[in-house]
């Protein structure tokens, strides 16, 4: 919607959240980026890898559509020259079912794994995306989410139209 159909340099970055969240949104976003042939970078701390079978599918889709996939644990360089930043927290599959240990493990990433102005300045004037709701100044700073480059309200509006279309088709 913002860029047209040309593939872009896209970052899916893990962001700190006080509790483990489902992997559904990051999985879906990564699959969609691969289907559209984007140059996708997935940034996350060690221990927050996406499912291996899903990553195989993402890599295959990306290759079939002219894209590529990279993975990094460096939250700073991940932002270099990207055009789209999608921030989302997810739980560690290593601690699935053990929320207490997962919560203890994730605390070490609280300070660094936030989308802030310094990281966004490393980008290529990237737009910022998040599925909402978001914890301000935990996942993303106020200055980023309130900036002209934030498209979270547009995302929410698009989701509304899709939900209405689904409901309309179910009623018929």
Domain assignment of residue 3, yes or no? no
For residue 11, give the H/E element and its range: strand 9-14
Global pTM exceeds 0.85: yes
CA 52 to chain centre: 17
Q: For residues 130 and 145, what is the distance between their CA atoms, to the nearest angstrom?
A: 9
Q: What is the domain count for the chain? A: 1
pLDDT digits (tens, 9 = 90+) for 2-23: 777 889 999 999 999 999 999 9
Domain assignment of residue 2, yes or no? no
Q: For residues 9 and 79, what is the distance between their CA atoms, to the nearest angstrom?
A: 10
Domain assignment of residue 166, yes or no? yes
Domain assignment of residue 1, yes or no? no
pLDDT digits (tens, 9 = 90+) for 52-98: 999 999 999 999 999 999 999 999 999 999 999 999 999 999 999 99
Name the residue with tokens 């894209």: 67
Structural domain including 20 reads 9-171
Residue 37 sits in a domain whose CATH number is 3.40.50.1370
């Amino acid at each position: 919607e913002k860029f047209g159909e040309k593939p872009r340099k896209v970052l899916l970055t893990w962001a700190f959240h006080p509790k483990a969240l489902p992997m559904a949104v990051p999985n879906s976003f990564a699959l969609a980026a691969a289907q559209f042939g984007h140059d996708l970078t997935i940034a996350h701390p060690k221990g927050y890898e996406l499912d291996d079978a899903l990553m195989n599918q993402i890599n295959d889709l990306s290759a079939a559509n002219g894209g590529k996939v990279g993975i990094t644990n460096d939250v700073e360089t991940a932002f270099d020259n990207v055009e789209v930043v999608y921030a989302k927290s997810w739980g560690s599959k290593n601690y699935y079912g053990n929320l207490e240990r997962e919560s203890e493990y994730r605390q070490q990433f609280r300070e660094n794994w936030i989308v802030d102005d310094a990281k966004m300045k490393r980008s290529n004037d990237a737009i910022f995306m998040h599925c909402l709701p978001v914890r301000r100044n935990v996942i993303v700073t106020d200055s980023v989410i309130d900036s002209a480059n934030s498209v979270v309200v547009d995302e929410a509006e698009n989701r509304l139209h899709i939900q209405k279309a689904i409901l309309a088709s179910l009623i018929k």
